[in-house]
Structure 1
């Protein structure tokens, strides 16, 4: 490595796993010098989308673990991280450039509520952003206090997102607060949008006309010329009615909200009038929507994963694959343990075979994770050591320097 031209050495290092890159710094002074070259970081970030994300599990008891998967994605090990952070009061709320956004969210309260919902700790507080933290290097960036609106009551709930500024690549935080504001005629529902480009100051961006689901954005897309955060709305109905759940994006370049149209045809058919979009995901660089049955029958209806083949084009939505209810492991289908849980698609991962596997978080009362291979329609419950915490939420994180 010492005898290679610097450009070639940097290109090689930019393709290594981050853990290997960190260990390389202790091999020799010359390798450390190359590994700490400021030109390496942008190269490393450019290759980030080709790597599998880390899966972090935040237990409602206040611990953060990294899930390390075996090559065949059927076994995994939990490794505790972040002993220098107080995760009884902090919760991951997004990932960008190797940093996690940590927000002040009371995880202990979520455990008291006896739920596996990842948004449970976001509904009763504004969950202000506290810092950006790199779990591998320990580097931390404190954020300026988020502004409070004079004359407004405590927010009902908050949505938050983190993504790269398409122009500078600097992390950008978006925060949407919702209020019942008192007036002389009663209470009026309103919202407040705040934006922070790290290194700058918070800016007020008016209000959002959409009532977004509390918690972190469900999918962050970084495309050739833009980047966008995505949430679902709190719809009152299902299907194609005017009150249906909608997909809303926030363009990080133009700093504007937009509705992402979803075809009503996916809800048509026998018994599908109560189907809805349960959640979003970023799968293989595409915006994906998971369509499921009504909550009272979610455990017995198939999940359909729809992908937007060309971002922003409604006609490009297509059914990617379907997970039938008969594929769920029996241990996760025990009626006595089911408490209105859900199956959440996390991400695509690479295995040591030619198959592409999709990892699922199965949010039953007892919790659980499973891997699914669309090629053979095989879903297997992960064997995790030590045993999974009973209540947890999952977050994706692309590791970097």
Structure 2
């Protein structure tokens, strides 16, 4: 392999499935070190040939291969399960092929399901209600600060005053390098949406918030390097005459920040959904409306919709859809960008939560990433 240009060799490796990379790791120490590095992982994530989908149904986790959405495999989770509350929480999203999970009682772990390795981190108990405030929501965000080579987990706890007049929002940050949590200044925002995890885009974690209950919602970004919150500029959203207002949520689509706008009627039914992507991060004028759904597209009242990822040829978008009935679970749908047709993905049971991640071989511990070339 010495005669193969480094760039070409990296490109070849980054197009292989995880199972093949596992075999190549045994060829030499230098090749194993490179495959395990963040340098290679960056190339691998860009190609995204090993996309996985995690489904949570009640107390169980399942994995779907993106290339075959009909076969699901149950996970054996590496945490102690509480018999009285056997739920496993997907905290903070995925990053570099790692998931952040918790048993909700005593353990939090960074976990790579592909290599079946995990790292338990110090557990931070859920904050208790205070005399004048009660805990309303608690969300997490998980990301990798590349400048410091440091995995970070953010927890945002939203407390409402007993009379719903006042609120306060606490922020706690875990650092892999120090293996500890620290308190950050409270932020002047109230958590708005039911989105449980922060969306990791451009070194920042994103949530939907509002300055107070009477003001429009907005998107804030927590920069992992600077460890500060900033507001994300939003496009002009035109509200139809027959709706009460709109709600927004954020997700990741491709490599772009994605926003769904739910137009809500007076009876609190979603009448249509707009999907926007920010093609150039941080620039308001780069927001582009990708498509719009009418409620009738799904043959039943619509409660929420989240884009998950593009198909391999980028002609379709995979959607997570929930009906408006309280007992409805979520379903997967394909949306064809050209024909504008919506089709349900068959063969998958109802689920409560879904998450996209890319299979990698990165261990859940911090690497020493100084591989500038390959010796093979």
**TM-score, normalised via structure 1 length:** 0.75
Verify: 1:68 aligned to 2:62, yes or no: no
CA distance 1:306–1:272, shift in 2 (3 Å)? farther
Corresponding position of 1:192? 170
Partner of 1:117: none
> What is the rounded CA distance, in whole Å, between the counterparts of 2:7 and 2:239 in structure 1?
55
Give the whole-Å Cα distance in 2 for the aligned partners of 1:128 and 1:84.
Answer: 13
Distance 1:156 1:132, change over 3 A: same
Structure holding more helix per residue:
1
Post-superposition offset of 1:298: 4.3
Q: Mapping of 1:294-373 within 5 angstroms?
A: 294=264, 296=267, 298=269, 301-328=271-298, 330=299, 333=300, 341-350=303-312, 354-364=313-323, 365-373=328-336
The residue that corresponds to 2:234 in the other structure is 262
Render the CA deviation track for 1:117-163: whole Å, top value 9, x for unaligned. xxxxxxxxxx8871101111111111123277799577432121001
Query: Does residue 355 of structure 2 align to residue 395 of structure 1?
Result: yes
Q: How many residues align?
A: 345
Cα distance change on mapping 1:51 and 1:228 into 2, 3 Å: same
Unaligned 5+ runs, structure 2: 362-376
Q: Classify 1:192/1:168 alpha carbon distance in 2 versus 1 (closer, same or farther; 3 Å).
A: same
Alignment partner of 1:221 is 2:201? yes
Which residue in 1 is equivalent to 2:47? Answer: 50
Q: 1:168 matched to which residue of 2?
A: 148
Going from structure 1 to structure 2, the CA distance change for 1:35 and 1:82 (only over 3 Å counts) comes to farther
Q: 1:284 to 1:215 in 2, by over 3 A?
A: closer
1:135 aligns with 2:113: yes
> What stretches of structure 1 of length at least 5 have no aligned partner?
106-126
The verdict on how the C-alpha distance between 1:55 and 1:146 changes in structure 2, with shifts beyond 3 A counting, is same
The partner residue of 2:247 within 276, 292, 295 is 276
Give me the whole-angstrom Cα distance separating, in 1, the residues matched to 2:164 and 2:330: 42
The farther-off stretch of 12-21 and 151-160 is 151-160
Give the structure with the larger strand fraction.
2
Q: Which string of whole-angstrom CA distances, capped at 9 and with x for unpartnered residues, describes residues 154-202 of structure 1?
A: 74321210011131232111111223579xx999532221111113121
Find the counterpart in structure 1 of residue 95 from structure 2: 96
1:41 matched to 2:41? no
Contact 1:159 1:214 in 2 (8 A): no
Rounded Cα–Cα distance in structure 1 between residues aligned with 2:149 and 2:285: 30
Secondary structure at the aligned position of 2:317 is classed as: strand
Structure 2 CA distance for aligned equivalents of residues 302 and 131 of structure 1: 38
**TM-score normalized by the length of structure 2:** 0.79
Match of 1:231 in 2: 207
Give the conservation status (yes or no) of the 8 Å contact 1:281–1:347. Answer: no
Structure 1 Cα separation of the partners of residues 106 and 278 of structure 2? 32
Question: What's the secondary structure of 2:20's corresponding residue?
Answer: helix
Q: CA deviation at 1:306?
A: 1.2
Contact 1:55–1:397, Cα closer than 8 Å, also in 2: yes
Distance 1:288 1:199 in 2: 30
Task: Name the Cα RMSD after superposition.
Answer: 3.3
The 8 Å contact of residues 141 and 199 in structure 2, kept in 1 or not, is answered as no
Match for residue 139 of structure 2?
159
Note closer, same or farther for the CA distance 1:316–1:11 as it changes in structure 2 (3 Å cut): closer
